[in-house]
């Protein structure tokens, strides 16, 4: 099975701490790299992990609170200084392009590469990326300003050729394509060799859901149903649920409840308030509602 992983580059909310940067996730799908959000410190974490930023071709920004995108202009500028030539697509709220273009204009910077903006909307789910193997959809969240989550869904791929079987039955290579599409093979003597004998089932498609800043919101459950890994913000522990509601954020138990309702396989908590140095109590509390819960650890790749 090909790689599908998530590396947390930042897990703090609002302000960075001594050991937690601001929100950013790096997705590796079949060696294609995607960036979700770009808080301050993102490019430094990428350097620490020896990630070649030229491999990042698509950047998704959930909303325009500074802890989610203030690192973007710095990263784009560094790519320019490194003489990048390949285009970058940035997906985010409509005002994002105006903000970045103004910063480039003010610094009299003419990028060495094409920068393409794709506007997201926060009214309904929308597919915003599709490369034939993977789609990325935006879904509306409930926060103080327009905010979207992002869902990375693998597409069902063709069946796998069983090399031992096709060799045994003498199937010519020219028929391999039809086999991967589920067709049987008819030998020269008229014998029908069932497709299931000559191929193996495709890999089960995997899903990663990134739920950025949001108040507790069961409306998202249908969109993330059955996801393999759910990242859900958990700014506060549950004793501060009233503060979470007032600030339109979520608690650890609320995140765990969403994971349970959605039938997620695993939950990753993140976007922690700087008031929490030790996250063990927050994790233990969430696990009482949804046992398959982990906390975001920066620099650690989670494989899906």
State the pairing for strand pair 126-130/134-140.
antiparallel
**Cα 18 to Cα 47, 188, 233, 251, distances in angstroms:** 18, 70, 20, 22
From 67, 219, 239, 277, active-site residue: 67
Write out the two tokens for 232: 């859900």
Catalytic status, residue 130:
no
* Helices 280-287, 252-262: crossing angle, 10 deg rounding: 40
Cα distances (Å, whole numbers) of residue 37 to 223, 236, 249: 20, 20, 17
Q: For 45, how many CA atoms within 13 A lie in the half-sphere containing its CB?
A: 25
- In angstroms, the CA 168 to CA 164 distance is 6
Question: Catalytic residue numbers?
Answer: 67
């Amino acid at each position: 099975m090909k790689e599908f992983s998530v590396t947390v580059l930042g897990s703090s909310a609002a302000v960075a701490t001594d050991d937690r940067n601001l929100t950013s996730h790096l997705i590796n799908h079949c060696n294609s790299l995607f960036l979700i959000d770009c808080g301050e410190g993102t490019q430094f974490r990428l350097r620490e992990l020896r990630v070649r930023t030229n491999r990042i071709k698509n950047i998704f920004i959930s909303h325009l609170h500074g802890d989610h995108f203030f690192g973007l202009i710095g990263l784009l500028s560094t790519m320019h200084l490194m003489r990048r030539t390949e285009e970058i697509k940035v997906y985010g709220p409509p005002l994002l392009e105006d903000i970045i273009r103004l910063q480039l204009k003010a610094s009299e910077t003419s990028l060495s590469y094409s920068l393409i903006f794709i506007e997201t909307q926060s009214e309904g789910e929308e597919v915003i990326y599709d490369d034939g193997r993977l789609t990325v959809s935006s879904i509306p969240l409930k926060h103080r300003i327009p905010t979207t989550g992002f869902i990375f869904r693998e597409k069902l791929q063709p069946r796998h050729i069983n090399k031992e079987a096709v060799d045994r039955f003498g199937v010519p290579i020219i028929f391999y394509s039809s086999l991967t599409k589920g067709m049987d093979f008819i030998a020269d003597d008229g014998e029908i060799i069932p497709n299931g004998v000559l191929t193996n089932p495709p890999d089960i498609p995997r899903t990663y859901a990134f739920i950025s800043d949001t108040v507790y919101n069961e409306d998202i459950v249908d969109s993330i149903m059955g996801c393999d890994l759910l990242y859900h913000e958990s700014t506060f522990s549950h004793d501060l649920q009233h503060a979470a509601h007032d600030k339109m954020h979520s608690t650890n138990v609320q995140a765990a409840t969403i994971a349970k309702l959605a039938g997620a396989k695993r939950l990753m908590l993140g976007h922690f308030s700087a008031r929490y140095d030790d996250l063990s109590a927050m994790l233990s509390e969430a696990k009482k509602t949804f046992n398959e819960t982990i906390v975001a650890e920066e620099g650690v790749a989670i494989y899906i």
